[in-house]
Amino acid sequence: MSDTKSFVSFSCQRCLQPLKLDESLNNLGEHTIADLTLQIRRNTEADLDLQSSSLEHYVPPFRMSESGNGANGFMVISDGWETTTSMGHQLHVKGTLFDLLSNNSDVDHPLCDECTDTLLELMDNQLRLTEAEWKDYTDYLKKLEDDKEDLNLDGLEKELEDWKQEQNRLLQELSALQKEEKAMKDEIVVQEKEKERLEDEQDIYWKEYTRYRKDLMTTEDQMKFYECQLSYTQVQLEKLKKTNIFKASFHISDSGQFGIINNFRLGRLPTAPVDWSEINAAWGQTVLLLSSLARKINFHFQRYRLVPYGNHSYIEILEDQKVLPLYGSSGFRFLWDTKFDAAMVAFLDCLQQFKEQVEKGNTGFCLPYRIDTDKWKIEDTASPPHAYSIKIQFNSEEQWTKALKYMLTNLKWALTWISSQFSEDKVEG
């Protein structure tokens, strides 16, 4: 694209577009130029600041070049005053002319054709509004002049005096209200301090209330916990009152040829060689049961004292303080230690004593298996009758186990009878 250059001296003071002035401005008359030149010289001689102010509306020219880079198609190449004296003088004259026009109106000059048309249209509208306003003021003034004759000056003066008195009264009332307002403000300050004090007391109250409320809730929770504990304890107590301690502590049953007490088998068979630790524990439970039953009816055995001692329980002979062990530690033999046989015989004697003591009261108590105190056997009275020795010596494992089973069955009957007779008693400690 070829470069097209033009020199622009002035821009439109509204849209800032470059202006191409009419050539007639370059051919001003001699008198006009002389007057303007004289004015410029006077201004220059009078005050340099005044000279600068004469160009206060002047927009310096721009040398524009057409280009495709800018948004408006132009790019500023350079600016500045023309160097020739005649050209500078013409620009100064034109600037002074535009300043004179601008100072004598509300519009800055120069203007382009479009801005001039828009400005003229706005001025026409303003002129019409001003003429309408002037007409309204004129009509109103005429109306006032027409109504002036009908005015009652005396009445207006009296009304004015009344308004002045009313004004004085209102001023006095305002003064009183201001004093009252000041008193109220002072009272408000006092009440604000009282409010702050009450708010502090309220904060302290709520803190104490929260603390006491927390303590109360904690106490209530503890009370509910203790009530639950008490209720549970009472239920357990009622259960314990209804529970028979003998039945709860001693469970006797049988399994085949074995008698069982608290899950311990009493006896042994060739086909079921029960360990002696289990047999000893079963004897310990058996001794504890018979001793407890005798204590329940306040009965003391003759010749013997039962000593429950777990799997090392024994029977003490009262006459000579000898001890008969109710526990073993080796295999089954026909020639057994006579102390173990003597201990089992002594226990069977104590069971017979207990039976005889209970039968003294005509209670109808009896045992299912009779005890032969001569041979120390337990007899089954069923047809045909059989008797089984409690001793191991010269006995078989089967018969000895059968005798122990019958002995436990007799103890179970004694336990049931005691439980039925003392079901309402309290559990002993």
Q: Where are the domains of the chain?
A: 5-111, 118-146, 174-242, 245-421
Tokens 């003392």, located at residue: 422
CA atoms within 13 A on the CB side of 399: 16
The strands making up 74-79's β-sheet, listed across from edge to edge, are 5-7, 62-66, 74-79
Tokens of 228: 């639950």
CA gap 67, 1 in Å, rounded: 8
Report pTM.
0.46
CA gap 172, 408 in Å, rounded: 121
**Residues in a beta bridge with 264:** 261
**Residues in a beta bridge with 75:** 65
CATH class of 245-421: mainly alpha
For residue 188, the model assigns a pLDDT of: 95
Pairing assessment for the beta strands 62-66 and 5-7 based on DSSP bridges: antiparallel
- Cα dist from 154 to 147, 161, 163, 166, 242, whole Å: 16, 10, 14, 18, 120
For residue 149, the model assigns a pLDDT of: 60
Using alpha carbons, select from 406, 391, 401, 380 the residue that is nearest to residue 271: 401
| Polymer length of the chain | 429
Tokens 């469970």, located at residue: 251
Q: Give CB contacts under 8 A, 24+ apart, made by 77-83.
A: 77/5, 82/7
Q: Give pLDDT tens digits along the chain (429 positions).
A: 444 444 556 788 878 888 777 766 666 665 666 665 565 555 545 444 444 444 444 444 443 334 344 334 333 333 444 444 466 666 777 777 777 777 767 777 788 888 888 888 888 998 999 999 999 999 888 887 776 666 677 777 888 999 999 999 999 999 999 999 999 999 999 999 999 999 999 999 999 999 999 999 999 999 999 999 999 999 888 877 777 777 778 888 888 889 999 999 998 888 888 888 999 999 999 999 999 999 988 999 999 999 999 889 999 999 988 999 998 876 555 445 688 889 999 999 999 999 888 888 667 778 888 888 888 888 887 757 788 888 888 888 899 999 999 999 999 998 888 888 766 444 443
**Alpha helices of 243-269 — where are they, by DSSP H?**
245-249
Tokens of 253: 């049953």
- Cα dist from 414 to 152, 211, 313, 367, whole Å: 139, 63, 21, 8
For residue 26, the model assigns a pLDDT of: 66
CA gap 261, 292 in Å, rounded: 15
Tokens 């948004």, located at residue: 71
